[in-house]
């Protein structure tokens, strides 16, 4: 096998495209996630027309994105959401994909 400058450049371009694709998908995932989380209150209220004081809500958000950079982004997004919605507490928990079945059983 001959490795030349062109094959190295092609490999690097393919690697960069894959990384860009993964980053874009991750960002889309996070945006969709927080849109869903933002609408939980709408569906949880059951369409009640009376205004009542909302009770505090706490939940665990399990993520398989356990890499430190991705966890940091998810935690910042969760903290931002909690700052906007003080009655909501989000506990971000990183779960390794290989450990997920075992963790769910506990």
* Residue that is written with structure tokens 């001959």 in the block: 2
* Eight-class DSSP state of 86: T
Ordered per-residue pLDDT tens for the chain, 106 residues: 566 777 767 777 777 777 777 777 777 777 777 777 766 655 555 555 555 667 898 988 888 877 888 888 889 989 998 998 889 999 988 888 777 777 776 6
Distance CA 15, CA 79 (A): 32
pTM (whole model) above 0.75: no
Which residues is 95 bridged to in the sheet?
none
Q: Report whether 56 contacts 25 (CB < 8 A).
A: no
Evaluated on CA atoms 77, 79, 84, 88, the torsion sign reads positive
Domain locations along the chain: 5-105
């Amino acid at each position: 096998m001959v490795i030349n400058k062109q094959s190295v450049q092609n490999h690097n371009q393919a690697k960069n495209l894959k990384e860009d694709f993964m980053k874009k998908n991750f960002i889309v995932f996070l945006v969709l996630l927080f849109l869903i989380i933002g609408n939980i209150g709408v569906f949880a209220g059951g369409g009640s027309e009376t205004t009542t004081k909302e009770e505090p809500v706490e939940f665990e958000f399990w993520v398989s994105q356990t890499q430190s950079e991705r966890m940091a982004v998810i935690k910042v997004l969760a903290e931002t959401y909690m700052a906007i919605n003080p009655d909501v507490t989000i506990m971000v928990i990183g779960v390794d994909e290989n450990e997920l079945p075992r963790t769910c059983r506990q």
